[in-house]
Structure 1
Amino acid sequence: MSTEPRTVQVNVFVTKSLEIDEPDWCAGHDDRAQYKTDITHNGPEVSASVEIRRGLSDFLTAWISQAPYSELAPEPLPLLAIEVGGDIINLDPNGVHEFTATVRAHCDVLDRLAGELQRVRESEGR
């Protein structure tokens, strides 16, 4: 048996603070970034709300977002992040205009359905 001390290499996760530039619109950071590529700037969230039985329910939550160091980000410029059905889509200005046109068209459909519902209720004497 050897009397020499044994050594082994162990990978460790070392953290340290990193000073980065923060845009004026960023609402702050939550210290969850493990790597520089995880850093994301997020602006304040805005949501539409609707009253339901349990109170208010938010939908179409949106915020300006930028992941300046990510290799996976669609582009280095800020985008609008919109939460839709539990998924987050990131859109440039043209994409936002296309999205809002689709939402407006759907609201027109909902208005037509409300008219149809009113006719159904009236025909049933309600």
Structure 2
Amino acid sequence: MTTEPRTVTLTTADHGEITLPEPSWCAGHSHHDPQTQRVDLIHASAVVECVHLGRTLLAAEIVQSPYANFSDPHLGGQAAGVSVYPLGQTLDPTELYSLAADLDRFSDKIRSLADQLDALRGDGQ
């Protein structure tokens, strides 16, 4: 077993081959396009999905863009974050906990609607 840090070498359109550290959570770069600019290189984890009736309602993955040069952390960046679809933003841990709390509240509302519908249908309406 090696203790060497993992690295990956990717071809870029503007800087040729780039070798960079690869985080242990990165799912790999099998879909890497060699025409990608260095600034657009991204590490991404496996996707976590909420699927209902065959449709993806939410999806999330850890992402990191080691050469990013933009200042809006919701677009991703050099620090790892979690990209959430369809929100279209990258969230930090505090924002993820807030999203989870909002989803818990939404789940309670959906259960309440299910209870109301069950009662309506039970009354023959």
Same fold, TM exceeding 0.5?
Answer: yes
Amino acid in structure 1 at the alignment position of 2:106: H
User: Displaced runs of 4+ in structure 1, greater than 6 A?
Assistant: none
What do residues 99-126 of structure 1 show as CA deviations (whole Å, max 9, x unaligned)?
0000000000001111111122122x26
Distance (Å, rounded) in 2 between the aligned partners of 1:62 and 1:79: 10
Q: 1:63 aligns with which of 55, 61, 64?
A: 61
Amino acid in structure 2 at the alignment position of 1:97: Y
**TM-superposed deviation, 1:44:** 0.6
Distance (Å, rounded) in 1 between the aligned partners of 2:44 and 2:88: 13
Partner of 1:47: 49
Between structures 1 and 2, the one with greater strand share: 2
Distance (Å, rounded) in 2 between the aligned partners of 1:14 and 1:68: 15
Amino acid in structure 2 at the alignment position of 1:63: E
Question: Alignment partner of 1:26: what SS?
Answer: coil
What residue ranges of structure 2 are gaps of 5+ in the alignment? 1-12
Distance (Å, rounded) in 1 between the aligned partners of 2:48 and 2:112: 27
**TM-superposed deviation, 1:16:** 2.3
Amino acid in structure 1 at the alignment position of 2:93: P
**TM-superposed deviation, 1:57:** 2.2
Distance (Å, rounded) in 2 between the aligned partners of 1:77 and 1:60: 22
RMSD: 2.0
Partner of 2:40: 38
Amino acid in structure 2 at the alignment position of 1:39: L
Partner of 1:107: 107
TM-score (norm 1): 0.75
Amino acid in structure 2 at the alignment position of 1:92: D
Q: Which protein is bigger by CA-based radius of gyration? A: 1
Identical amino acids, percent of aligned pairs: 25
What residue ranges of structure 1 are gaps of 5+ in the alignment? 1-12
Q: How many residues align?
A: 107
Q: In the TM superposition, what are the counterparts of 1:69-84 in structure 2 within 5 Å?
A: 69-72=67-70, 74=73, 75-84=77-86
